[in-house]
Amino acid sequence: MWKYLFLCLSLFLCSAVFSDAPLFDWSSSSELYPGIQHIHIALEEPRLLKINAVRIDLSRPEIQFHTTPRDANWGKEMPDCPEHIIRSKRQRTRDYLKQARHSKEEGGYGLNMVLAVNAAPWVPWKKPFTHTWADNLGLAVSDGELVNPENKRPSLLIYRDKRVELGKLPSEEELANLQVAVSGFSFVLQDGKVTGDSTLHPRTGYGISKDRKYLVLLTIDGRQKNWSLGAGSSEVGQWLKHFGAWDGLNMDGGGSTSMAYLVPGEKTENIRLLNKPPGGERRVGNNLGIYLQTIEK
Output the pLDDT for position 237: 98
Output the pLDDT for position 17: 56
CA–CA distance, 219 with 278 (Å, rounded to integer): 12
What residues in the chain have per-residue pLDDT under 50? 1-13, 16
The number of residues making up the chain comes to 297
Output the pLDDT for position 32: 98
10 Å CB burial of residue 183 (0-12, 13-18, 19+) is: buried
Residues whose CB falls within 8 Å of the CB of residue 264, separated by 6 or more in sequence, listed in order: 32, 33, 114
Output the pLDDT for position 4: 36
Question: DSSP secondary structure string, 77-93?
Answer: EETTEEEEE--EE-B-H
CA–CA distance, 289 with 96 (Å, rounded to integer): 8
CB 247 within 8 A of CB 187: yes
Residues whose CB falls within 8 Å of the CB of residue 22, separated by 6 or more in sequence, listed in order: none
Output the pLDDT for position 96: 98
Output the pLDDT for position 19: 52
Output the pLDDT for position 12: 46
Question: Could you read off the pLDDT of 134-168 as tens digits, one per residue?
Answer: 999 999 999 999 999 999 999 999 999 999 999 99
Count of CA atoms in the C-beta half-sphere (13 A) of 227: 12
Output the pLDDT for position 3: 35
CA–CA distance, 70 with 77 (Å, rounded to integer): 14
CB 221 within 8 A of CB 275: yes
- Using the Cα atoms of residue 129, residue 186, residue 240 and residue 242 in order, give the sign of their dihedral: negative
pTM score over 0.85: yes
DSSP state of 76: S
SS3 label, residue 13: helix
Output the pLDDT for position 294: 84
**What does the mean pLDDT of the chain come to?**
93
157 DSSP β-pair partners? 165, 181
